[in-house]
Structure formats: structure tokens, C-alpha cells
């Protein structure tokens, strides 16, 4: 695999529950590159993302993420793979009754951080990066939707991932807040040389923040050449 490639899929078939969802997939993503994934609901966008983080099965072809061969990866290796990925979802997936800080420190502890001072320092760093440090001790349910999604971005970059996978991250947000989230994701990508795959229905965002576009359609994925 070319060392500059974060994702390298060749002739891949992706299955879920024994059903073939996507076929003959050829998809590459380079270091620090951002791409959009578009298509109708049920077209396979989420299945591709699930394959990338080890939840959907790959039954054909060659599929590598970083140094991991997804055709051969064992269940015990998937947590290690996911430590190299940041994941952001439409419904945030936060612990709403915990504080902002606890949502982040929990992730670090779960990924083998042990030094409490270093944990606090890293939490403060990422909160500063997404402009939420003033909410350090605030309960998550007290934040706005946009603030909660910024917290989800902070969580996704805690372990300095090589790739962020974002599944409809602005789906529940108004247009202005959506723009803020995309601006922040672009900034994170550039500052840390982090690759980003963003599944979205919002073509307005694609026009404002241009990048390569792949469409899921008819059980396949095709790059849209403008």
C-alpha cells in the first residue's frame, strides 16, 4: 500500500447481515484529503463508513485502512483500528447528563491514558480548539445542538486520528450552524493533516466547502467529476 494512502479499497464487496450492500468498490483516500459521500438514504453511504471502522463485513477484494488489512482483521484488533479513527454522527452520541469534560476524559481513559494531569491537559487542548473550554464543567444537555456537535468533533480528535469518519454530522443543525461545523472540520483537517470522509445530503455545504465527491448509487460508488 502506498504509505500516503489512508484508505485503499480495490474491487471490494461490502455485506451486512449476509446481504451484499455495495459491490466492486474502488476507493482511495490520501493523507489530509477530504471527500464527500452522497446518495439517497439506503444507498450504502453508512455501510461504506461501517466497513471502514470494522463494523460491516468485506467479502471480496483488497481493503486496507492505514496498516490494517480489513479482510484479515481480528475482533481483538478492531479497538486498535478505531483508536486511529475519529467518528462523528448525526445524533452526537454523547452522554447528555455528564459534563463536557467527563465525556472526553472517559474516552481517553478507555484508550489507555492513565496520567490524570495529561488527561486534563488533553481535554483542555481539544476544548480550546473547538471553542468550548468555557463549558468544561457544563452538563452536555445544557449545550445547543451546534455546541454538542463541536464537542463531538473534540471527542473525535482526542487521540489525534489519521482519519475522521463523519456520518451526516450536520443533519440535525440549521444552515448557519452547519456552516460552522464544516468550517471547523476543514480547519481540523488542515491543522492536523487529518483525512475526512463526510457523508451528507446537504449539497449547499458541498458548494461552500469544495472537495472530491463520491456518489453511492445502484450498489456501487462513483466519483462525480465536475
Please check whether residue 99 is in contact with residue 80, taking contact to mean a CB–CB distance below 8 angstroms. no
DSSP 64-95: EETTEETTT--GGGHHHHHHTEEEEETT----
Q: Is the pLDDT of residue 146 over 50?
A: yes
Instruction: Decide: 159 and 113 in contact? Cβ < 8 Å.
Output: no
Within a domain: 216: yes
Residue 2 has pLDDT above 70, yes or no: no
Neighbours of 34 (CB within 10 A): 21
Per the domain annotation, does 101 fall within a domain? yes
Instruction: Name the pTM for this structure.
Output: 0.90
Is the pLDDT reported for residue 95 higher than 90? Answer: yes
Mean pLDDT, range 2-21, rounded to an integer: 88
Name the maximum alpha-carbon separation found in the chain: 51
Domain that holds residue 104: 33-46+80-224
On whether residue 66 sits in a domain, the answer given is no
Cα atoms in the 13 Å half-sphere on the side-chain side of 89: 7
Task: Outline where DSSP puts E strands in the chain.
Answer: 5-16, 19-30, 34-38, 57-65, 68-69, 85-89, 163-167, 195-199, 212-217, 220-224
Residues 110 and 42: their CA atoms lie apart, in Å, by 32
In a domain, 113, yes or no: yes
d(CA 164, CA 181): 13
CATH of the domain at 142: 3.40.50.300
CA pair distance 194, 38, nearest whole angstrom: 20
When the pLDDT of each residue in the chain is averaged and rounded to a whole number, the result is 92
Identify the residue whose cell numbers are 464487496: 13
Q: Which residue has the cell 463494523?
A: 55
Q: Report the pLDDT value the prediction gives residue 16, as an integer from 0 to 100.
A: 85
The secondary element (H helix, E strand) that includes residue 116 is: helix 116-129
Residue 18 belongs to some domain of the structure: no
Task: Express each pLDDT in 171-187 by its tens digit.
Answer: 889 999 999 999 999 99
Q: Helix, strand, or coil here: 186?
A: helix
Domain count, the chain: 1
1 has pLDDT over 70? no
- Residue 169: inside a domain: yes
Amino acid at each position: 500500500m502506498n504509505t500516503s494512502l489512508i484508505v485503499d479499497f480495490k474491487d471490494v464487496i461490502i455485506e451486512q447481515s449476509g446481504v451484499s450492500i455495495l459491490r466492486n468498490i474502488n476507493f482511495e483516500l490520501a493523507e489530509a484529503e477530504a471527500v464527500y459521500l452522497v446518495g439517497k438514504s439506503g444507498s450504502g453511504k453508512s455501510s461504506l463508513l461501517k466497513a471502514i471502522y470494522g463494523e460491516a463485513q468485506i467479502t471480496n477484494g483488497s481493503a486496507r485502512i492505514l496498516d490494517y488489512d480489513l479482510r484479515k482483521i481480528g475482533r481483538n484488533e478492531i479497538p486498535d483500528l478505531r483508536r486511529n479513527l475519529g467518528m462523528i454522527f448525526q445524533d452526537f452520541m454523547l452522554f447528555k447528563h455528564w459534563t463536557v469534560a467527563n465525556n472526553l476524559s472517559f474516552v481517553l481513559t478507555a484508550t489507555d491514558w492513565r496520567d490524570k494531569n495529561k488527561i486534563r491537559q488533553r481535554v483542555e487542548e481539544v476544548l480550546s480548539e473547538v471553542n468550548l473550554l468555557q463549558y468544561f464543567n457544563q452538563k452536555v444537555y445544557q449545550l445547543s445542538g451546534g455546541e454538542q456537535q463541536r464537542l463531538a468533533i473534540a471527542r473525535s480528535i482526542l487521540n489525534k486520528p489519521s482519519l475522521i469518519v463523519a456520518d451526516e454530522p450536520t443533519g440535525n443543525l440549521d444552515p448557519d450552524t452547519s456552516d460552522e461545523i464544516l468550517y471547523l472540520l476543514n480547519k481540523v483537517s488542515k491543522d492536523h493533516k487529518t483525512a475526512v470522509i463526510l457523508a451528507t445530503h446537504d449539497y449547499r455545504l458541498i458548494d461552500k466547502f469544495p472537495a472530491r465527491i463520491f456518489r453511492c448509487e445502484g450498489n456501487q460508488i462513483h466519483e462525480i467529476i465536475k
